[in-house]
Structure 1
Amino acid sequence: MTVHDSDTQGDQSSPGQDSDVLRVPIVGDLEPKPDPVFDNFESAIDAINRLAEDRSFDFVAGIGDVAHKGTRVQYEAATEILQDLEAPFYPILGNEELEESTDRFFEYAKTWNDDPSAIPDISYVKTANDVLFVFATASKNGKDFDEEELDWIESKLEAHEDLPAVLFVHAAPQNVFPEGRTMQTANFDRILSMPNVSAVFSGHSHMSVHETTTYARDEWENHHVHIPGIERTKVGDDHVPRFRIATIASDGRTTVETYNVDEDQFEDEHEVTFQLKRVAVESNGD
């Protein structure tokens, strides 16, 4: 299995993978508030490393908000933990990182992988096993995309029109989850309506998987999955640190599991399965 950045030369290989299965833990909203005590995140990384002994992971995706207010003390504490992560880590930026400069983000992000260029920009794409992964940072408060950013996402989807696409964004699109906060980008539908978009993973709202809607399907048959916050639940009564693991088979069948960090176990009742789209590209007759 090869994961690579489709906009640069060269591949980033992940050893020991099943050639027909992708496994991707997804974490989000890591930032402890106000003190830089990342106990939940450290436990989550320990769990991911331990689980990888039986089920190798291709990479870990982050949907934003690593460091509260982008402070150095938060980045330093998070980086110390991330350097123990055994799989590559590919995050986007959330509203917390964007309270400071992107230069500060990259100062630390270049140390999170063996290859300092593994995170090439605030938004980027990678492909693996014939799936396109779009890591899309919204520069306006980490939540809202401007027209130039929408054009960029659209161009990447069009350039890989033969591949089903999975999007990582910080805030969920409008009209997906009835609870929590969403992006205010009014025309994100232009992205969701593109034929190869299949799934969108988002966070930001810190919603409880027990008390709120955290999986939905939109009118274009895209699958939306909320990533619970590693730190504090904002929507719901009780906080439990959780992350998700997406397993994508070669036929596009996708299983998303939920891992309870406190109890150190999967929660079968929060597992969802769906099918990535089979993309049909018209032939020009040649």
Structure 2
Amino acid sequence: MTDNDTTARDDESPSRDVTRVPIVGDLEPKPDPVFDNFEKAVDAINRIDGDRPVDFVAGIGDVAHEGKRVQYEAATEILQGLEAPFYPILGNEELEESTDRFFEYAESWNDDPSAIPDISYVKTVNDVLFVFATATENGKDFDEQELEWIETQLKNHEELPAVLFVHAAPQNVFPEGRTMLVDNFDRILSIPNVSAVFSGHSHMSVHETTTYARDDWGNHHVHIPGIERTKVGDEHVPRFRLATIGSDGRVTVETYNVDEDRFEDEHEVSFDISSAPAQTHVE
């Protein structure tokens, strides 16, 4: 884990009053390494980037099924065509193999091989702290050292609103999906500058399940649907989210339907991560 933070696309993008982050998750096809949906998602993100420049693409884990080389190789070929930086965490699939194998491939996912410095790291963009937090206990739960690291990052940047990327959702957030197995993450959610948490793992359908919620501390939780496979819901539709954060703290999360090549207005979510009382529009 590393606590050095950097800005995303700092030397490429002009200063602007919004931060845009496409968020993808659960990419791994099973069992064959055929990433057709992910390839279409990357093409869509590149087109969006050309029209509405994005700062980076976040990944909430599970790029390669069971951490297999054949999966990494196929995913890497596609990721090398992504025009924006790609900042992922590890999910349970990557952790079925060694982290060394993850970094063997991750070093080629960005122009800068050190862009993904560790399994957990932070980046700051436009006065927002982004915390990329890998949970090594079954890919879902955080041990004491990992929790202390997150607490330190939040304390070191206590003046900034924090957006967290984790693989599995905390307990008591999404009733239909699979979550963290223990409740120790509550101590992170209670820290004042935590504002939003993006998670995946459950592969939930946005049509049939709860994929946006607020917790007891007022934090906003958004589920990232799986690019490959829907496990909770009857029909799989590959989707990713696009988060746009304004300088005023207003956040809009759009949902992109990869099959239909369009944003789905009915699944848009908006909320506020400024110091002002949160206001929400729920899908």
Fold match (TM-score > 0.5): yes
Q: Which residue of structure 1 aligns with residue 165 of structure 2?
A: 168
Q: Is the 8 A contact 2:9 2:85 kept in 1?
A: no
Matched pairs, number:
275
Q: Which runs of 5+ in 1 are unaligned?
A: 280-286
- TM-score by length of structure 2 reads 0.95
CA RMSD across the alignment: 1.5
* Residue number among 48, 73, 77 corresponding to 1:76 in the alignment: 73
Kindly provide the amino acid, as one letter, of the partner of residue 250 in structure 1. Answer: S
- In the other structure, the counterpart of 1:13 is 10
1:207 aligns with 2:204: yes
Change (3 A) 1:88 1:14: farther
2:38 is equivalent to residue 45 of structure 1: no
Structure 2 residue runs without a partner (length 5+): 277-283
Q: Tell me, in whole angstroms, the C-alpha distance in 2 between the residues paired with 1:202 and 1:123.
A: 15
SS of 2:236's equivalent in the other structure is: coil
2:8/2:56 contact within 8 Å kept: no
C-alpha contact 2:229 2:236 (8 A) present in aligned 1:
yes
The answer to whether the 8 Å contact 2:6/2:124 transfers is no
**Structure 2 CA distance for partners of 1:39 and 1:253, relative to 1, 3 Å:** same
Are positions 1:250 and 2:281 aligned together?
no
Deviations 1:105-157 (A, max 9, x none): 00000000000000000000000000000000000111000111000000100
Q: Does 1:62 align with 2:43?
A: no
**Could you say which residue in structure 1 is the equivalent of 2:124?**
127
Give yes or no for contact 1:26–1:245 (8 Å, CA) kept in 2.
yes
**Percentage identity across aligned positions?**
80
The alignment partner of 2:100 has SS state of helix
Q: Distance in 1 between matches of 2:82 and 2:7?
A: 23
- Tell whether 2:155 aligns with 1:158: yes
| Conserved? CA contact 1:228–1:241, under 8 Å | yes
CA contact (8 A) 1:171 1:182 kept: yes
1:178 aligns with 2:183: no
2:237 to 234, 237, 240: 240
CA shift digits 1:73-113 (9 cap, x unpaired) = 00000000000000000000000000000000000000000
Change (3 A) 1:8 1:224: closer
On the 8 A contact 1:38/1:77 being kept in 2, the answer is yes
- Matched residues in 2 for 1:166 and 1:23: separation? 13
Aligned residue number for residue 19 of structure 2: 22
1:230 matches 2:227 = yes
Equivalent-residue separation in structure 1 for 2:138 and 2:82 (angstroms): 28
Distance 1:9-1:81 versus aligned 2 partners, 3 A rule:
closer
Contact in 2 for aligned 1:6/1:126 (Cα 8 Å): no
Contact 2:8 2:125 in 1 (8 A): no
1:16 is displaced (CA, Å) by 3.2
Alignment of 1:80-95 (within 5 A): 80-95=77-92
- Contact between 2:6 and 2:123, CA under 8 Å: does it hold in 1? no
Alignment partners' CA distance in 2, 1:217 and 1:9: 29
Q: Is the Cα contact below 8 Å between 1:17 and 1:57 reproduced in 2?
A: no
How far 1:6 moved relative to its partner? 6.0
Query: What secondary structure sits across from 2:50 in the alignment?
Result: coil
Normalization by structure 1: what TM-score? Answer: 0.94
Between the aligned partners of 1:123 and 1:6, the Cα distance in structure 2 is 8
> How big is the shift at 1:11?
7.6
2:153 match: secondary structure: helix
